[in-house]
Amino acid sequence: MEQILANGLYLGAQYALIALGLTLIFSLMNVLNFAHGQMYVFGGFVTYTVVAQWGLPFIVGLIASAVILAIMGALIEFLLFRPVIRKSKRDESTMLLAAGIAFFLDAVILLLFGEKQRGVPKIVNGIFNWDMRLIMPYDRILIGVLAIAMIAGFIALMQYTKAGRAMRALAQDRMAAQLMGVDVDRYSMIGFALGALLAGLVGGLLVTITGINLGMGGPTSVKAFIMIMIGGAGVISGAIAGGFILGMMESIGLTVLAVYGDITYLAIFASLMVFLALRPQGLMGKPWG
């Protein structure tokens, strides 16, 4: 049981960090960013290039992933989403744009980084073993702690900084925030950049554990959408809750249901359908949006 809980917490921390960026962008701009998984993959490849190819320290790779993805996010918002949102009132326009960006990023990743699975050496060696009841490699513990620290840092940023307050105001009521003097364009761009930065950071963190390859973008986006559906789209605390719930469900399912084959995600999807039928707005979302 201890092992199941630890696996669930570790998975939950990384999932929550992935979902945070997605839900932030949705809450600020009402955009479902289908390219979130590709941004995660891009971040992983940047860290791989800096650490494994150039031989620089892991922290440099992580910072490079964060900076490059933040710039990419800001440019995508400024050059693509802003004009589309200005000209079109239909939600499908931004959804199609996001899907197009996902395909485009897939092609860019293939050209820049190739098609192979890549990984970087372990950043910490050794394994924590508590009497064979709980086994956890130190690098996973470190990545889990870093992910939780980043989530805490993100919450603090949203709670106690001027930019965070402005973004929360935007998320609550765009029109009212504008009337109160919030620069909507500026904070939309900052929000998108922050969402992309989070995706890049998770990619950079996880490349040390899972490695990275071109095909990981789509499934990552799907999992991120599951998390925000569970927690409630556009709600920060909901994304965190959704991440930890999915991580725990996956950990328990893979252990308890292992004898029946790979039915963990079948069970998760079935539960999600029932859950959404009863509570379509998710755990913490509001029925009115």
Residue ranges that bind another protein, judged by CB under 8 A? 3-4, 7, 10-11, 14, 52, 110, 115-122, 127, 129, 132, 135-137, 140, 206, 209-211, 213-216, 219-220, 250-251, 254-255, 258-262, 265
Q: C-alpha 16: how far from its chain's center?
A: 7
Q: How far is the CB of 214 from another protein (least distance, A)?
A: 5
CA dihedral 179, 184, 190, 194 (to 10 degrees): 80
**What does each C-alpha distance from 240 to 20, 125, 130, 210, 274 come to in angstroms?**
7, 29, 28, 21, 21
CA–CA separation, 229 and 23 (whole Å): 10
**Which residues are 128's β-sheet partners?**
136
Q: How far is the CB of 165 from another protein (least distance, A)?
A: 34
CA dihedral 102, 105, 107, 112 (to 10 degrees): -160
Q: How far is the CB of 262 from another protein (least distance, A)?
A: 4
Q: How far is the CB of 1 from another protein (least distance, A)?
A: 12
**What does each C-alpha distance from 245 to 31, 57, 161, 240 come to in angstroms?**
24, 33, 28, 9
**What does each C-alpha distance from 104 to 31, 65, 168, 194, 253 come to in angstroms?**
18, 19, 30, 20, 35
Q: Which is nearer to another protein, 5 or 273 (CB)?
A: 5
Q: How far is the CB of 22 from another protein (least distance, A)?
A: 16
Per DSSP, 280 falls in state T
Per DSSP, 53 falls in state I
Q: How far is the CB of 99 from another protein (least distance, A)?
A: 16
Q: Which is nearer to another protein, 100 or 280 (CB)?
A: 100
Q: Which is nearer to another protein, 75 or 211 (CB)?
A: 211
| 3-class state of residue 213 by DSSP | coil
Q: Which is nearer to another protein, 163 or 211 (CB)?
A: 211
Q: What are phi and psi for residue 234, nearest 5 degrees?
A: 85, 5
Q: How far is the CB of 265 from another protein (least distance, A)?
A: 6
Q: Which is nearer to another protein, 32 or 206 (CB)?
A: 206
Contact (Cβ atoms closer than 8 angstroms) between residue 122 and residue 139: yes
Angle at 204 between CA 202 and CA 207, to 5 degrees: 100
Q: Which is nearer to another protein, 15 or 26 (CB)?
A: 15
Q: Which is nearer to another protein, 77 or 106 (CB)?
A: 106
Q: How far is the CB of 31 from another protein (least distance, A)?
A: 24
Contact (Cβ atoms closer than 8 angstroms) between residue 26 and residue 233: yes
Q: Which is nearer to another protein, 77 or 250 (CB)?
A: 250
Per DSSP, 116 falls in state S
